[in-house]
Amino acid sequence: MKIKNKSVIIKDLGVVDYKECWDFQEKLFKNVVEVKIKNRREALNKPTSNYLLFVEHPHVYTLGKSGDMSNLLVSETELIKKDAKFYKINRGGDITYHGPGQIVGYPILDLDNFFTDIHKYLRFLEEVIILTLDDYDLKASRNPGKTGVWLDINTPFARKICAMGVRASRWVTMHGFALNANVDLSYFECIVPCGITNNSVTSLNKELGVEFVDVIELKKKIKNNFLKLFEAKTN
């Protein structure tokens, strides 16, 4: 019987270049997968590790496997002027933006330790953000058929505050969520965010009417809601 390790190693990486962080994710991801393969091949029962990485990226646009390149609305020259990079990556979803003031979370979990259901996993990630925004007295929700977290759905003022995109193999996850905290929203004007043309994008500080949201406190709330929802613990 598999030993279920529900302990999550939480690391705050600070500000890290997207490609450097992507490589780090891949390293952790591959290590977990290799343990699972060895367990199966050699009839072992070694526990697998789980991680939650917090990071902030310099300006970057990323396009998922199912994304449409036409949703990037600026040229390579304009990207350089904006000091922004662009990558095609191996997560699901379309195009999105990461940058200063955005809290990015990358859970690298062995879902065999929790539940083997990708749909449920995405709903859990959304719920973590919904619960966190509720801590700020903001009523957020899901938007049927559109992954992520939204405000005022089913109204002309629907706007997205958190994007999500994941990859999973052998029930091990990577990539994750991007919550706009104190983001310069003008950078979203360079793309059709997540390929959605009829809704806008917002940020937590804009919704609260403040200049700056305390990101240390915000990450603490996300962490607490994550551990509670996944019934996990941290060292």
Q: How many CB atoms lie under 10 A from the CB of residue 51?
A: 21
List, by residue number, the catalytic residues: 194
pLDDT tens digit string along 154-192?
Answer: 898 999 999 999 999 999 999 999 999 999 998 888 877
pLDDT tens digit string along 69-82?
Answer: 777 887 778 877 88
Contact criterion met (CB below 8 Å) for 51 and 118:
no
What's the CA gap between 139 and 72, in Å, rounded?
Answer: 30
Contact criterion met (CB below 8 Å) for 38 and 46:
yes
What's the CA gap between 177 and 142, in Å, rounded?
Answer: 14
What lies within 8 Å, CB to CB, of 63 at 6+ separation is 69, 71, 72, 86, 87, 88, 89, 94, 95
Contact criterion met (CB below 8 Å) for 48 and 36:
yes
The predicted model gives 97-101 an average pLDDT of: 95
Q: Going from the N-terminus, what domains does the chain have, and what CATH number goes with each? A: 57-99+115-229 (3.30.930.10)
Q: How many CB atoms lie under 10 A from the CB of residue 9?
A: 13
145, two tokens: 């058929």
51, two tokens: 């991680």
What's the CA gap between 23 and 169, in Å, rounded?
Answer: 16
**Comparing 26-40, 57-71, 101-115, 145-159, which segment has the lowest mean pLDDT?**
57-71
